Amino acid sequence: MHAIIVGCGRVGVMLAHLLEHDGHQVTVIDKTPAAFRNLGSGFRGRTVTGIGFDRDVLRDAGIERADAFAAVTSGDNSNFVAASVARDTFRVPIVVARIYDPQREQIYRRLGIRTISSTAWGAHKIKRLLLNSDLHGTQELGNGEVQVMEGRVSGLIAGRSVRDVVYSGSVNVFAVVREGRAFVPTPSVVLQEGDVIHMSVAADAVDKIEALMR
């Protein structure tokens, strides 16, 4: 896969190394040449100096043959514009933009840009750790409308059945791990303390699950 990353800050550098470690071809764009020092001498990909939404800069980075594009600069608007150009002008199949402002994130998502809000994600993650260390999200699907979550069953809800955890149309338990062995549960399965339940949860039902697991 050929991936283009706009922004050579901490996130961009880490993402570049992760992708390169997995064998992908990586090009990093940044408007400040000195930022590329953060990549270290071991980086084998390309670097391109320029504005991440400038079409000529993007062509120089090889966007016309790119399979994936990530805009992770410190500017929400710049990330959105760069992602829009990559998607709409160059038809890159996979485009992601990092957004700090959660309110802007919702607007950009409605406009069809796949976004990650590190502010919102971090706040929700810390909240779960503070209020319920046994529950955490493992993956977001689509634009975050559905989350895959897992939670460890405590003594407070042990003895209840799977149907007590399920909310029609918003929460579904698709697997239970008990003593190291996984199985697909029926609604009548009784949960035991120490079970790990894996759930698909609609974004607007996360609070319900957090309250139940507490």
pLDDT score for 93:
92
Judge whether 93 and 67 are in contact, CB under 8 Å: yes
Residue 3's SS3 state is strand
What is the share, in percent, of the chain residues with pLDDT greater than 70?
Answer: 86
pLDDT score for 3:
96
pLDDT score for 63:
96
Buried (b) or exposed (e) across 182-198, using 16+ Cβ within 10 A? eeebeeebebeeebebb
134-162 pLDDT tens trace: 677 667 777 678 888 888 888 888 899 99
Angle at 14 between CA 20 and CA 30, to 5 degrees: 90
Show the low-confidence residues of the chain (pLDDT under 50).
none
Gap between the terminal Cα atoms of the chain: 42
pLDDT score for 156:
81
| Ramachandran area for residue 142 (φ above 0: left; ψ -120 to 50: alpha; else beta) | left
Judge whether 92 and 68 are in contact, CB under 8 Å: yes
Separation CA 49–CA 52 (nearest Å): 9
Other C-beta atoms closer than 10 Å to the C-beta of 105 total 25
pLDDT score for 155:
81
pLDDT score for 83:
93
CA of 55: how far to CAs of 60, 79, 95, 119, 164, in Å? 9, 14, 16, 29, 53
